[in-house]
Structure 1
Amino acid sequence: MNLDIAAMQLFNGISLFSILLLMAIGLAVVFGLMGVINMAHGELMAMGAYTTYLVSVAFQRWAPGWMDVYLFAAIPLAFLAAFAFGYLLERGFIRWFYNRPLDTLLATWGLSLILQQTYRSVFGAQEVSVPLASWLSGAWEPTPDLQFPLNRIFILGLTLLVAVGVYLLLYRSAWGLRVRAVTQNRAMAGAVGINTRRVDALTFALGSGLAGIAGCVFTMIGSTNPGTGQLYIVDSFIVVVFGGVQSLLGTAFSGLAIAQSQTTLEYLMSGSMAKVTILVLVILVLYFRPNGLFANKTRG
């Protein structure tokens, strides 16, 4: 493997890492901090993707001269659409399933099927795609034989920006302190005056909104269909569990490790064998470290 191929494999791994991390951060918030197994998280990603599609259609119809900047409207709208849906979902549905993990899993799986059918009824079963802004077309060519697509570079930058923002929100803000207090000791947090139900709703909504951003980003590299969210949901859960529940650093590290390993193995073997190999390695690691690589230490 020469240096150009190695560099491309590294970049491909980072590109996959970007999508995985955006999905996994949302799951880390919902599953890691709240303990909610949300099997409909992928459909929230699809909601963000379809929102981006609707924004692009609106710009094409009413503001075609502004198509190069429609993404800057689509990204916050995708977040807000999924955020609002997640907030209402937690208030009217999820809150009744806390401390019932199996019931939560089954209920959200059923919800994912409902959302998939809703997308199919509204948008059809066929794939839809959005036009790529002209400034995201093409590639950066550091050498004649090495090309880095501009849209994937943009995705990486956006992912890092979102990851830093989530970290600052959860670990450097008063609201993040409330979230962590509720996570660690709900009864005590409520006793000191924290509105735990409001924290639950906003935390779940935040995780949902992050999935919406992931869906918006996905439209830059692929077409959207009702089952789009299922492409990443399993891998995202693996990333969160492998990195360590309640650890954003672990989520980021495991996402990078899994993405790089997968792209490298896919270069050396078939895609299905690469998936199997990754799963076996993850299972082996979890056998020796069942709480993940970066599990939070607690006093017994």
Structure 2
Amino acid sequence: MFGDYSISDLGAILAMQGFAGLILFSVYVLMALGLAIIFGQMGVINMAHGEFMILGAYVTWMTSNTVQHVAPWLFPGYFFIAMILAFIASGALGMLVEWALIRHLYKRPLDTLLATWGLSLILQQAYRSIFGAREVGVELPDWMMGSWQATDSIQIPINGMFVMALTILITIAVAYVLFWSSWGKQVRAVVQNRVMAGAVGINTEKVDRYTFGLGCGIAGIAGSAFTMIGSTGPTAGQLYIVDTFLVVVFGGAASLFGTIASAFSISQTQSTLEFFLSGSMAKVITLLTIVAILMVRPQGLFALKVRK
């Protein structure tokens, strides 16, 4: 596999694939952050998480088209407006779904899996009916086009660097909200002991609704980032949902640091293997490696210690 390449060629290939893996890592982290909040904090298996991401992607696409026709002078900065709208749209839909469906299924993970799987099919058909079956793509501003020449043989896409910077900012914001804000303390109190949290005056139903909405809103931001590296279609979210669950489970449910470490290791491994092997073989090897590690450490890389 490596015999046809010189040492310098291998170094350049690994560097290029490493940067490509960082872009994939960014999408995984943004997707997994929302899913880790919903699955790790609430115990809800949300199989429709990819559809919340695609809603954010469609909102970004609509914002791009609207700004181009209505206010073209705003086009260089439309992406920041689109991210805010994507967060609001996906978060609002998530809160509606929690109120209408999820709140009746707490402590029944298998039922949440089946219910959200049905929801994902409904949302896919809704997207197909509203936006059409064909995939769509957004037009990026000029400042996001092109690449940065790191060395003679290594080029880094500017939009990829933007996605990575966005991921860092979102991760810091989520960490602050969950670990240092008063609302984050309420979330962790409900996770550790729901009955006691309610006894001390915490509105557990409100915490659940806002938590689910936050997780879905972050998925919407992931959808905005997704438009930079791929086209948007009604079923595009299902391509990432399995990998996102792998990231969350492998890193350790409810562990923010574990989610980041897991997303990095999986994305780098998969990106490097895809260059030397086929994409399907890269996924198989990655999956087998994760399964083998989980057999030894079923709680994931980093598991939170919760007092029982």
TM interval, short-chain normalised? over 0.9
User: Which range is displaced more, 262-271 or 164-173?
Assistant: 262-271
Match of 2:220 among 173, 193, 212: 212
- Output aligned runs, 1:220-231, within 5 Å: 220-231=228-239
Match of 2:206 among 180, 198, 206: 198
The alignment partner of 1:17 has SS state of helix
Give, in angstroms, the shift of residue 160 of structure 1.
0.6
Matches of 1:292 and 1:199, distance apart in 2: 26
- TM-score, normalised by the number of residues in structure 1: 0.98
CA contact (8 A) 2:192 2:307 kept: no
| Partner residue in 1 for 2:254 | 246
Equivalent residues, number: 300
Deviation at 1:66, TM superposition (A): 2.0
| 1:296 paired residue number | 304
Give the 5 Å matches for 1:20-35.
20-35=28-43
2:154 partner amino acid? L
In the alignment, what sits opposite 2:163?
155
Partner in structure 2 of residue 39 of structure 1: 47
| Distance (Å, rounded) in 2 between the aligned partners of 1:252 and 1:143 | 28
Task: Quote the Cα distance in structure 1 between the aligned partners of 2:13 and 2:280.
Answer: 21
2:45 is aligned with 1:65? no
CA distance in structure 2 between the aligned counterparts of 1:70 and 1:215, rounded to whole angstroms: 15
AA in 2 matched with 1:210 = I
- Pair 1:142-2:163 in alignment: no
Separation of aligned partners in 2, 1:107 and 1:290: 26
CA distance in 2, matches of 1:145, 1:291: 41
Query: How far apart are residue 220 of structure 1 and its match?
Result: 1.0
Superposed CA RMSD in Å reads 0.9
User: Could you tell me how far apart the structure 2 residues matched to 1:191 and 1:82 are?
Assistant: 31
What secondary structure does 2:177 align onto?
Answer: helix
Which residue identity does 2:33 align to in structure 1? Answer: I
Q: 2:96 aligns with which of 88, 103, 114?
A: 88
Q: Percent identity?
A: 57
1:3, distance to aligned residue in structure 2 (A): 2.7
What amino acid sits opposite 2:99 in the alignment?
R
Counterpart of 2:62? Answer: 54
**Larger displacement relative to structure 2 (141-150 or 13-22):** 141-150
Equivalent residue number for residue 107 of structure 1: 115
Is 1:131 the counterpart of 2:136? The answer is no
Aligned-partner residue type, residue 111 of structure 1:
L
State whether structure 2 residue 139 is matched by structure 1 residue 119: no
- Give the superposition deviation at 1:195: 0.3
Q: Which residue of 1 aligns with 2:3?
A: none
Provide the TM-score with structure 2 as the length reference: 0.96
Aligned partner (choices 250, 254, 276) of residue 268 of structure 1? 276
Distance of 1:170 and 1:83 partners within structure 2: 17
Q: Deviations over 1:177-219 (max 9, x none)?
A: 0000000100000000000000000000000000000000111
Displacement, 1:270?
1.0
* DSSP-derived class of the 2:150 partner: strand
Deviation at 1:299, TM superposition (A): 4.6
Q: For 2:213 and 2:205, how far apart are their aligned partners in 1?
A: 12
2:196 alignment partner AA: M
| 1:13 maps to 2:21 | yes
Matched residue, 1:282: 290
Counterpart of 1:20, as a letter, is Y
- CA deviation profile, 1:49-107 (whole Å, cap 9, x unmatched): 00001111110110122211110110100000001111111111110010111111000
Give the Å deviation of 1:239.
0.2
Q: C-alpha separation between the residues in 1 aligned to 2:303 and 2:14?
A: 32
Distance in 1 (alpha carbons) for counterparts of 2:174 and 2:235: 27
Which ranges of structure 1 fall in alignment gaps of 5 or more residues?
none
Mapped to 1, the partners of 2:17 and 2:181 lie a distance apart of: 37
